[in-house]
Structures are given as structure tokens and as C-alpha cells.
Amino acid sequence: MMLKLYSNYVKRIESVMDSFDWQLVHQLSLSLQQAWRSGHNVFLCGNGGSAGNAVHIANDFNYGIDKNGGLGLRVEALPANTSVLTCLANDEGYENIFSQQLKVKANPDDILIVLSGSGNSQNVIHALDVGNKIRMKTFAILGFSGGRCKELAQNSIHFEIED
């Protein structure tokens, strides 16, 4: 029973990966390379497991890329500081916990990467709205149908999987 469950899970993921347009990921990597060269910032956000992924990715981009040479990206995971999150949730509303940080920290041509399973979380949608208004380069890495974020991001990396 467990082996069949695992086997089906692996088959679903393989199917999505085999049919995926990897050019979109290449475009993200080129944008990150350009941000590194020009000294622009990269911001990541998401909720739940996506928040955890945002923090992990930020760590890898900041330190893991070149831990001996100091050549990492200027990157920040917006969900990483619980004091900031709870302050903003209390004072500005949970839907603004990421967008408010971007209003203060982001500049044109910085990069925003949102991570979302559904693509419909209001705080992530608001982050994309603000990022677009600031003229950031916006990317969304999404699952399920992609939700509203698929339409709002300038570049959507959409994995069509319901898991």
C-alpha cells in the first residue's frame, strides 16, 4: 500500500517535470545573475511551507553560493523576522505583511520572488501589486491552478500539480 502511494506520487512529479517549460527557470536565473552584477536586491515571500522555502532559498543565495568568497546575492526573505511580521499584521493587517516591507525596502529593478501553492493568498497578491508599482521584476513560483498570482507576476513559473 505505502509503496504504491509513493510510486504514484513519484509518477505525478515526473510527469509535471517532464512537460515543464524550463526556459522560465532559465529566465529567472538570468535575472538573478543581473541583480548580482548590478547590486540589486532580491526579496522572497510566501506562507507556511512556502515561507520556510523562502528563508532557505535566501540563505542559499546569500551564503551558500560562495561561502568563501562573499559573492552571494543581496537577498531577504520577508517572512523571516517574526517581530516584523507580527507588528505589521497587528498594525497594517496580515494581508500587508509583505507589501509594507517592500514599500520601505525595495527599489525599481530589484527582484521579487513569491512562492505559493494556490497563488491566491492576499498577502502574496498584495506583495506582487506593490512590486509591480515599484517597477520591480516580479516572479511567481506556483502550484495548483496558479491563482491570481499567475496573472499578476511578470513571470510565472507554474508547476501544474495538485499536491
pLDDT tens digits, residue range 66-115? 667 777 899 999 999 999 999 999 999 999 999 999 999 999 999 999 99
Domain 21-158 has CATH 3.40.50.10490: yes
Distance separating alpha carbons of residues 25 and 93, to the nearest angstrom: 32
Beta bridge partners of 63: none
pTM (whole model) above 0.75: yes
Query: Where along the chain do its domains lie?
Result: 21-158
Q: How confident is the model at residue 163 (pLDDT cuts 50, 70, 90)?
A: low
Helix (H, G, I), strand (E, B) or coil at 80: coil
Q: Which three cell numbers stand for residue 147?
A: 491563482
Distance separating alpha carbons of residues 142 and 150, to the nearest angstrom: 7
Distance separating alpha carbons of residues 134 and 128, to the nearest angstrom: 10
